[in-house]
């Protein structure tokens, strides 16, 4: 049985190509699951493809290379996640080459080797009326520039509250008495 967050990640990665959402979903799971490197490989891949699609090739290349280096350490977990680790390594290497050569972004499919995982993802897509393997809609700015266009008022408010609390000394231990 695969974690629900992982299925959600794969559905977004392969259907609506919402790489930002892939990152959000799996980052939360990664934190709850002991920060295993296999999850980090997938998170970094999603962020790399997000940057690549937006034209941030230096950020994309940096993250693809990080994911590739981590993959060597996380091969066993990647296999347990139903992926072909060797094919994934080739995909990352090929993507790094495409970025280096200045080739444009293209949607890719992760090498799923577990038929039941593939079927679970297909069923999840069907329930949502999504199309597995659909190419990314490059004209959809809500998708392509999601990090800029999303409502972050709750995050900003939390940061401001933390700043005020720090300035007022709330929640912090008092300073030690002078010696």
For the chain, the average pLDDT equals 88
Given a cut of 90, whether residue 143 has pLDDT beyond it is no
pLDDT in tens, 40-68: 999 999 999 999 999 999 999 999 999 99
Rounded-to-integer distance, Cα 55 and Cα 77, Å: 31
Question: Are 109 and 134 within 8 A, CB to CB?
Answer: no
Q: Model confidence at 137, in pLDDT bands (50, 70, 90)?
A: confident
pTM exceeds 0.85, yes or no? no
What the chain holds in terms of domains, given with CATH numbers, is 2-136 (1.10.3450)
């Amino acid at each position: 049985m695969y974690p629900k967050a992982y299925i959600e990640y794969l559905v977004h990665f392969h259907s609506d190509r919402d790489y930002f959402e892939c990152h959000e979903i799996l980052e939360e799971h990664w934190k709850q699951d002991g920060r295993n490197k296999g999850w980090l490989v997938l998170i970094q891949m999603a962020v790399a493809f997000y940057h690549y699609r937006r034209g941030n090739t230096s950020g994309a290349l940096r993250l693809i290379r990080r994911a590739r280096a981590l993959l060597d350490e996380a091969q066993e977990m990647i296999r347990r996640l139903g992926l072909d680790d060797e094919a994934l390594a080739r995909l990352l290497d090929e993507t790094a080459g495409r970025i280096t050569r200045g080739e444009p972004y293209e949607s890719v499919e992760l090498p799923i080797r577990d038929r039941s995982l593939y079927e679970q993802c297909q069923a999840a897509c069907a329930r949502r009326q999504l199309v597995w393997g659909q190419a990314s809609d490059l004209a959809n700015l809500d998708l392509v520039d999601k990090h800029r266009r999303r409502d972050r008022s709750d995050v900003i408010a939390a940061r401001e509250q933390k700043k005020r609390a720090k300035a007022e000394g709330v929640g912090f231990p008092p300073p030690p008495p002078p010696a």
